Amino acid sequence: MQKDYNMSQLTLPIETSILIPDNDLSQHVNDIVESIPDIEFEGFKHHRGSTAYHPKMMLKIILYAYTQSVFSGRKIERLLHDSLRMMWLSQRQTPSYKTINRSACPLRNQCMKSNSKANKKIMRNYNWEYFKAQINQKLSKPETQKIYNQRKIDVEPVFRFMKAILVFNRMSVRGINKVKREFGFVLMALNLRKLVASSAAKLMIKGKNPRFFVFYENL
């Protein structure tokens, strides 16, 4: 005996949220973004070109993608077609990676200098090389290595979580303002995972079924 398997039959419900647990990570992302007042998104309104995607929807899909260690615009676009949770957060809207990245902005030349040679200079900081050599000499001593190993474990867990759990090893943008924004997304994604894991642990202590999709229990 085999269960009925028919590719021509409608199996998914019209409302995709039915298939998502109440306490799922995507539900938390949706609730947090929806709690932000609409006035905070007034700066994204414009009256030129085609109709823009809603900024809350864009924030939801980027935040959820970051919680799943997806940082590339092209991979986020692919996730919008493959992930049921992303389909629900975007309500089946599929912005392209160009919209997510905004790398080909038509106003770019008005905001940046057109002389590309200015960004091709190679500079060497000899003061940095001097202090780096001193640190390398200190770290080569056994007693210093022992202290540094303790520091990596106790003082820097946030960066360890970012690299080991979110698999975030490098920035994908340039410029201090863009780096601050991307780093903010990473920290929000990390805090969301901690929030979901903490809530699931509390429900399990009370003997309830958390119905959480917690992928990393060590957070």
- pLDDT tens, residue order, the chain (219 aa): 777 777 776 766 677 777 888 778 898 899 999 998 888 888 777 777 778 888 899 999 999 999 998 888 888 999 999 888 999 999 888 888 777 776 555 566 666 665 655 666 777 888 889 999 998 888 888 888 888 777 665 456 778 788 887 888 888 888 888 899 889 988 888 888 888 888 877 777 766 655 544 444 444
Which residue do the tokens 């202590």 mark?
205
How far is it, in rounded angstroms, from Cα 188 to Cα 184? Answer: 6
Tell me the residue ranges of DSSP E strands in 52-187: none
Residues near 137 by beta carbon (within 8 Å), at least 6 away in sequence: none
CA-based end-to-end distance of the chain? 43
